[in-house]
Amino acid sequence: MKNIFCFVVVCVMLSNIVSLSAQVQKPELPSMIVPDGLGYNIHFTDARAGEMEMLADSGATIVRMDLSWGSTERTKGVYDFSAFERLTNSLEKFKIRPLYILDYSNKFYDNGLSPHSEEGRTAFARWAAAAVSQFKDRGIIWEMYNEPNIGFWKPKPEPEKYILLALEVGRAIRAVAPNELYIGPANSGIGFPFLEQCFKAGLLEYWDAVSVHPYRQTDPESVLTDYAKLRYLIDQYAPKDKTIPILSAEWGYSSVWRNYNDEIQGKMLPRQWLINLAANVPISIWYDWHDDGKDPKEPEHHFGTTNHDYKKDSQPVYEPKPSYIAAKTFNETFRGFKYNKRLWTDNDQVYIFLFSKDNDIKLAAWTTAKEPINVAIPCSSGKFSAVSYLGEKLPDLTATEKSLTINVSDAPIYLTPLETNQALVDVSRWASFPLVMYQDEKQVQRHRLKEENAVYKTIDEKKMYDYTERFQDLNFTQRTINYVANPVFFSLPIPIKDQLVTVIHNPSGQPFSSEQLTIKKTEGMSTTEAVRTLELKQGETEKIITFPLKSMPQEEYHFSFDIAGYTDLFSSRTMKLIDNFSSKNNETLSAAWGIYPDGDSQIGSEQKIEAADGMVKITYKFDEGWKFIRLAPKGKQAKMEGHPLALGFQIRGDGSGNSVNIRYVDKTGQTFQVHGGRLKDAWTYYFEFALDGSNASHWGGANDGKITYPIRLDSIIIDGTRKACGPYSVMISSPVLIYHKY
């Protein structure tokens, strides 16, 4: 009886062991602790001698590599993963995690094009499942294809066919290895339309993360609004109770892009990794590991962190570029630390990031400004060590009782308190705001009313709100920028005949209604108020609303909007007409304004203006080539008194794709040209042009980009696309100067 009991116990134990082995825990994505999740794209399966050591010495913990179909199924139906077995073993030795891309085509299927037929999809999915099964339970991250939204999908991008393939691969992987990490779509750029198609089709049921390649030639910090918008989009389609992170699976800066070099590239790498960590992006893959060639004019050859040539008998085996040294310095400096929060200053171009590990604190500081800036970082008194982004030891710094004053540039510096800095420790314990987030407008409003200790103001009445919290008893500020995902905003009301005409824009197309929309117009001592019921139906992106106007404004006038439940979400303005088109007939219009061809004098065009419905109607036609027309004022109509902030007008578009610009001239004769946008559709646009010299090209006069007042309007421009077009007609309202915003 005793032996039978022992046998039963052993059987139960064996059963439990089998049960536990069947329930292998799903591997996790990298943590947010440095250097986990930081690494490079590589282009090899067999590292050269000394190469893997150099990769590991930089602090890399992950690499991304193509596991291509064509290279591993060279005989139809036969798979050879031996090269990737060698690579995986080598990476494991150095504690580097692989991210393998299941991608591209095979000569045996679909004529070597991307898999798009039923046979091709089935074969690709069978191959992908075999690869995943071969390497399962080794912590590998599997990515579905590479940049299918551009030319890597042959013969041309087709989202529907990619989606069918990705779904079939997802089902195949889940069948053979349900615990493996499966991500996608490795989009080139962000590519919101492509992503939304993927999400709508149900790919978030299979994907454990969304991978994108946020390339840009602007500062890395500009990615924050893209991430926030993508986060909002993911949350709209994600399965309930499933958290789906964003991954920066490929992103770099070429040393030979215009206005770039090795030094600037070296600054971009730590700033990119810093901003990704702050955006809660757990993987940052720098493209790429070493330069792919030596052609000084080929940008694709110069994304690497080391130079191209391999030096077998040297240590290290590749010559490091500043970006390699910057990566190594960052990983060594912040090893074991986690991003905590941004410490805001009075200058939004200054970035102060606080990292923490228990009571230990480190800071990263830099600016996106072109020139260095002095900034005071609130903290307790004490000394700080400082190191440059390239690991150079800088002089120690001493903080007063209230702050540490430092000089920041576009090159990050890293600061470490030499003793416990209690103020920074206290601040590290506060909950951290996301740097940027997208929300529904009513959610924003509720959030605003809920937080009594916050300052909450409109930055841009179209989409942005600034939420600020000040820490009690501490001189610290934390902010988040709220981008409204479904904004409803109003164009400037323009006097046309006996009405004020405004265009309501609803770019999300979501329904919106308010029982009371009130507009007030004040001129001198007289105030006019009108009330409307506002309703936007599903898919209605634009609506024109008119308000009665007793008389045309003669001097400055002021208006404000008030929507029931949305008070303070729309700014008010003081304005003045440059000229009143409503009072013109063809004769008086021609005396005050002219329409003139410009551009290449050898290119033909036809153009005319006439008064129509209180506006100016422009009819035009362009031959092929560089051609544009200018609606230019004659005489006093050109004068813009004082220091106006902007010029605005409505234009009923023609769908031509031609662009609308303005020119204005300052006292020195310097001309400024500001781009407004393209007439892509035949609807009513509102264009508003800044008159402060920002976002403007300039020439002549002082030619320094600085405005010397007074200024005058030179012309309103319709610029062609160099293709023959027309005849087209547009209607332009009276142009209005904007002096104040409230």
Q: What integer pLDDT is reported at residue 523 of this predicted model?
A: 66
Q: How far is Cα 183 from Cα 153, in angstroms, rounded to an integer?
A: 17
| Residue 415 CA from chain centroid, whole number | 28
Instruction: Report the range of poorest mean pLDDT among 75-79, 159-163, 538-542.
Output: 538-542
Residue 630 has pLDDT above 50, yes or no: yes
Residue that is written with structure tokens 């410009």 in the block: 598
Band of the pLDDT at 15, cuts 50, 70, 90? very low
- What is the rounded distance in angstroms from the CA atom of residue 661 to the CA atom of residue 716? 6
Fold classification of 339-428 (topology level): Immunoglobulin-like (2.60.40)
| Segment 94-105, tens digit of pLDDT | 999 999 999 999
Please state whether the peptide bond connecting residue 410 to the residue before it is cis, i.e. omega within 30 degrees of 0. Answer: no
Instruction: Tell me the backbone φ, ψ of residue 353, rounded to 5 degrees.
Output: -105, 130
The Cα–Cα gap between 705 and 242 comes to 51
Share of the chain residues as helix, strand and coil, in percent rounded to the nearest 5: 25, 35, 40
Nearest-angstrom CA–CA distance, 372 and 5: 79
The domain defined by 581-741 folds into: Jelly Rolls (2.60.120)
Q: Decide if pLDDT at 84 tops 60.
A: yes
Q: What is the mean pLDDT of the chain?
A: 88
Contact 257, 301 (CB under 8 A): no
Q: What is the mean pLDDT of residues 60-89?
A: 98
For 79-92, what is the mean pLDDT? 98
Supply the pLDDT for residue 438. Answer: 77
Question: In angstroms, rounded to a whole number, what is the distance separating the alpha carbons of residues 650 and 674?
Answer: 16
For residue 725, list its beta bridge partners: 622
What is the fold, at CATH topology level, of the domain defined by 40-333? Answer: TIM Barrel (3.20.20)
Token pair, residue 665, equals 């001239």
413-438 burial code (b ≥16 CB/10 A, e <16): bbbbbeeebebbbebbeeebbbbbbb
Angle in degrees, CA 637, 642, 645, rounded to 5: 90
The share of the chain scoring above pLDDT 90, in percent, equals 69
Break the chain into its structural domains and give their ranges. Answer: 40-333, 339-428, 436-484, 489-570, 581-741
- pLDDT at 187 exceeding the cut of 60: yes
Distances (CA, A) of 172 to 158, 559, 655: 22, 61, 46
Reported as a single tens digit per residue, the pLDDT across 282-318 is 999 999 999 999 999 999 999 999 999 999 989 999 9
Asked if 294 and 308 count as a contact pair (C-beta separation under 8 A), the reply is: yes
Instruction: Examine the pLDDT at 51 and tell me if it is beyond 70.
Output: yes
Give residue 445's pLDDT. 47
Q: Which fold, 489-570?
A: Immunoglobulin-like (2.60.40)
Q: In 238-371, where does DSSP find H-type helix?
A: 262-278, 322-334
**What pLDDT is attached to residue 694?**
79
Q: pLDDT at residue 458 above 80?
A: no
Residue 302: partners with Cβ closer than 8 Å, 6 or more residues away? 254, 255, 256, 291
Q: How far apart are CA 460 and CA 266, in angstroms?
A: 34
> C-alpha angle with apex 231: 225 to 233, nearest 5 degrees?
105
d(CA 597, CA 509): 38
231: confidence class by pLDDT, cuts 50, 70, 90: very high
Confidence of residue 446 (pLDDT cuts 50, 70, 90): very low
pLDDT in tens, 358-415: 999 999 999 999 999 999 999 999 999 999 999 999 999 999 988 999 999 999 999 9
Say what the alpha-carbon torsion angle 193, 194, 200, 205 is, to the nearest 10 degrees: -140
Residue of 80 and 442 predicted with greater confidence:
80
Give the span between the Cα atoms of 697 and 703, in whole angstroms: 10
In the chain, DSSP finds a helix count (H) and a strand count (E) of: 13, 43
Six token digits for residue 573: 């303005």
Q: How far apart are CA 322 and CA 341, in angstroms?
A: 27
Residue located via tokens 């507009």: 519
Residue 199: Cβ within 10 Å count: 20
Rg (CA), the chain: 31
**pLDDT of amino acid 497:** 86
pLDDT band at 435 (very low <50, low <70, confident <90, very high): confident
Helix axes 262-278, 322-334, angle to 10 degrees: 30
CB atoms within 10 A of CB 270: 25
- How far is the C-alpha of 66 from the C-alpha of 101, rounded, in Å? 5
- pLDDT, one tens digit per residue, over 543-586 is 888 877 777 777 777 776 666 655 444 456 788 888 999 999 99
Beta-carbon contacts of 505 under 8 Å, excluding residues fewer than 6 positions away, are 462, 487, 488, 489, 490, 491, 541, 542, 686
For 473-517, the pLDDT digits (tens) are 567 777 877 777 777 777 778 888 888 888 887 877 888 777 667
Q: Cis (ω within 30 of 0) for the bond into 710?
A: yes
Between vectors from CA 48 to CA 43 and to CA 51, what angle results, nearest 5°? 80
Length in residues, the chain: 742
Q: Mark residue 235 as left, alpha or beta (left: phi above 0; alpha: psi -120 to 50; beta: remaining).
A: alpha
- Is residue 443 predicted with pLDDT exceeding 70? no
Condensed to tens digits (0 to 9), the pLDDT of residues 322-339 reads 999 999 999 999 999 999
CA distance 146 to 183: 11
Mean pLDDT for 58-86 is: 98
What pLDDT band is residue 140 in, cutting at 50, 70 and 90? very high
Q: How far apart (Å, rounded) are the C-alpha atoms in residues 145 and 21?
A: 31
With b meaning 16 or more CB within 10 Å and e meaning fewer, what string describes 84-100?
beebbebbeeeebbbbb
> Distance from CA of residue 715 to its chain's centroid?
33
Please give the pLDDT value at position 449: 37
How does DSSP assign 647-674, residue by residue? EEEEEE--SS--EEEEEEE-TT--EEEE
Q: Is a pLDDT exceeding 70 seen at residue 18?
A: no
Report the alpha-carbon distance of residue 182 to residue 704 in Å, rounded.
Answer: 53
Query: Is the CB of residue 349 less than 8 Å from the CB of residue 365?
Result: no
User: 489-570: same fold as 40-333?
Assistant: no
- The string of pLDDT tens digits covering residues 233-242 is 999 999 998 9
pTM of the predicted protein model: 0.77
Span 643-650, average pLDDT? 92
Task: Collect all residues with Cβ–Cβ distance below 8 Å to 169 and sequence separation of at least 6.
Answer: 102, 124, 125, 128, 129, 144, 182
